Amino acid sequence: MPYLFTSESVSEGHPDKVADQISDALIDNFLAWDADSKVACETLVTTGQVILAGEVKSKTYLDVQRIARDVIRKIGYTKSEYMFEANSCGVLSAIHEQSADINQGVDRINKQEQGAGDQGMMFGYATNETDNYMPLALDLAHKILIELAAIRREATQIAYLRPDAKSQVTIEYSDDHRPIRIDSIVVSTQHDDFDTEEAMQQRIQRDIVEVLIPRVKSQLKEELQALFTDQITYHINPTGKFVIGGPHGDTGLTGRKIIVDTYGGKGAHGGGAFSGKDPSKVDRSAAYATRHIAKNMVAAGVADEVLVQVSYAIGVKDPMGIYVNTYGTAKVDLSDGEIAKLVGEVFDMTPYGIETRLKLRNPIYSETAAYGHMGRKNETVTKVFEGANGERKEVEVELFTWEKLDYVDKIKAAFRL
């Protein structure tokens, strides 16, 4: 019997994502000036206020106020009527030095012996239902909000949009787990005030369905465009008025959108957030590494769908174990346990091995902090950083290295494909 599956996304202007982006901007700035920085920083945003807290071990000093304001300005909180604005909000820093007790379990004279920054389990997932090996419902939810943000910045087709927004996509699947159609789409977007709520509802409904959705649809291949039928149920700003939003409408905290950040409810999640953590924290680095494994395995033809789990003990370099679930879709004559054993032979899953393989000691994290950490475009860019003393530095970095299909041949050789 056909079934429904739903995933949601939130925009860069959502308060939790504002917090994530500030935390990751701090990570990037620390790593740009001192690649060995150890950082765990959290951000809270609310009406007119930003609070930074966390632990840092670094040789550099940052103007954290300027960095936070730059992020807020880039997102689009630039008007006083938003009650949260880049130039006027307060920024309080309670960042302090990292605990020596924690650091002694991570740092080693020989970097290859580096221990995990914490205990826990991390998951990576991939499926062949989209070209980027991501679950379709989440991929569409992200695309809707990326395009909505583009329309907001253009301010031509739709001029009343404000930064905060959420989306949700429900897809009907067949018994053999193939998408049949889109059942419903939810879009809630913050907006300027209208003369009447009725006029607002009519205008936003029309613009989302007739402007936004066609722009999203045009980016997709034909078989996915066919899922957009005239039977879709749209819920556009279903509560009505959405003028008060962003950090004024809801307090935002780093790390509260971990399912949006990963697979939209598909696969599994170990519970650890990513943003605000340097790559010695395996919550982040091992989640990227398991995504890299799962994606390359599906691309290599090992299975149509793969979940990979890895787990660690704090201060210990080797993982406690590697688990693989192919959901019965494996194309090789091996059990999932046998597949997991081969994965451990192909991939170095020590914290140092992950950091070096995926080039994680680089300032590459700001781009991850909105619209998902997985399924993104791998590319090389040049980023510019300004130090607290006004010094400027250009850094060429490779983004989303865990999305590269650079281990397909090695996997095929290991699995004799």
Question: Per-residue pLDDT tens for 247-281?
Answer: 999 999 999 999 999 999 999 999 999 999 999 99
- How crowded is residue 87: how many other Cβ atoms within 10 Å of its Cβ? 10
Domain 120-128+280-415, architecture per CATH: 2-Layer Sandwich (3.30)
Q: What average pLDDT does the structure give for the chain?
A: 95
Question: Which residues sit in the known binding site for Mg(2+)?
Answer: 16
Question: Of all helices (H) and strands (E), which one includes residue 90?
Answer: strand 90-97
Helices (H), 257-335: 258-261, 282-300
Question: Which residues sit in the known binding site for L-methionine?
Answer: 55, 98, 250, 281
Range in 44-58, 106-120, 279-293, 323-337 the model is least confident about: 106-120
Question: Which residues sit in the known binding site for K(+)?
Answer: 42
Q: What is the pLDDT of residues 349-390, one digit of tens each?
A: 999 999 999 999 999 999 999 999 999 999 999 999 999 888
Does position 317 have pLDDT exceeding 60, yes or no?
Answer: yes
Does position 118 have pLDDT exceeding 90, yes or no?
Answer: no
pLDDT band at 197 (very low <50, low <70, confident <90, very high): confident
Question: Residue 222: its pLDDT value, please?
Answer: 95
Question: Residue 114: its pLDDT value, please?
Answer: 80
Q: What is the mean pLDDT of residues 317-329?
A: 96
Question: Residue 101: its pLDDT value, please?
Answer: 53
DSSP assigned state of 277 = B
CATH of domain 3-10+136-245: 3.30.300.10
Do the Cβ atoms of 283 and 272 come closer than 8 Å?
A: yes
Q: Give the pairing of strands 233-236 and 179-191.
A: parallel
Does position 98 have pLDDT exceeding 90, yes or no?
Answer: no
Range in 3-7, 94-98, 131-135, 392-396 the model is least confident about: 94-98
Q: What is the pLDDT of residues 21-51, one digit of tens each?
A: 999 999 999 999 999 999 999 999 999 999 9
Do the Cβ atoms of 311 and 319 come closer than 8 Å?
A: yes
Distance separating alpha carbons of residues 165 and 246, to the nearest angstrom: 9
Pick from 68, 125, 48, 12: nearest CA to 402: 125
Give the residue extent of every domain in the chain: 3-10+136-245, 15-111, 120-128+280-415
Distance separating alpha carbons of residues 168 and 238, to the nearest angstrom: 12
Question: Residue 110: its pLDDT value, please?
Answer: 62
Transcribe 321-386 into DSSP letters.
EEEEE-TT-B-SSS-HHHHHHHHHHHS--SHHHHHHHTT-SSS--GGGSSS-SSSPPPEEEEEEEE
pLDDT band at 100 (very low <50, low <70, confident <90, very high): low
- Residue matched to tokens 């990037």: 28
Do the Cβ atoms of 157 and 204 come closer than 8 Å?
A: no
Question: Residue 109: its pLDDT value, please?
Answer: 57
- % residues pLDDT > 90 (the chain): 90
Question: Residue 99: its pLDDT value, please?
Answer: 62
Longest dimension (CA), the chain: 67
Question: Residue 1: its pLDDT value, please?
Answer: 86
Token pair recorded at residue 187: 């879009």
Distance separating alpha carbons of residues 353 and 75, to the nearest angstrom: 34
Residue 338's alpha-carbon distances to 82, 323, 325, 346, in angstroms, are 55, 10, 11, 13
Q: Residue type at 99?
A: S
Distance separating alpha carbons of residues 62 and 391, to the nearest angstrom: 11
pLDDT band at 97 (very low <50, low <70, confident <90, very high): confident
Q: What is the mean pLDDT of residues 84-101?
A: 88
Does position 81 have pLDDT exceeding 80, yes or no?
Answer: yes
Pick from 122, 109, 126: nearest CA to 352: 109
* Four-point Cα dihedral 117, 19, 149, 124, nearest 10: 20
Does position 107 have pLDDT exceeding 90, yes or no?
Answer: no
Question: Residue 132: its pLDDT value, please?
Answer: 97
Do the Cβ atoms of 279 and 355 come closer than 8 Å?
A: yes
Transcribe 95-164 into DSSP letters.
EEEPPHHHHTTT--SSGGGPPBSS-EEEEEEEETTSTTSS-HHHHHHHHHHHHHHHHHHH-SS---EEEE
Q: Which residues face 90 on adjacent strands? A: 49
Question: Which residues sit in the known binding site for ATP?
Answer: 14, 164-166, 241-242, 250, 256-257, 273, 277
Same fold, 3-10+136-245 and 15-111: yes
Say which residues have a Cβ less than 8 Å from residue 109's Cβ, sequence separation at least 6.
none
pLDDT band at 105 (very low <50, low <70, confident <90, very high): low
Question: Which residues sit in the known binding site?
Answer: 14, 16, 42, 55, 98, 164-166, 241-242, 250, 256-257, 273, 277, 281
Distance separating alpha carbons of residues 348 and 319, to the nearest angstrom: 10
- % residues pLDDT > 70 (the chain): 96
pLDDT band at 195 (very low <50, low <70, confident <90, very high): confident
Pick from 42, 46, 52: nearest CA to 250: 46
The reply to whether CATH 2.170.150.20 applies to domain 15-111 is no
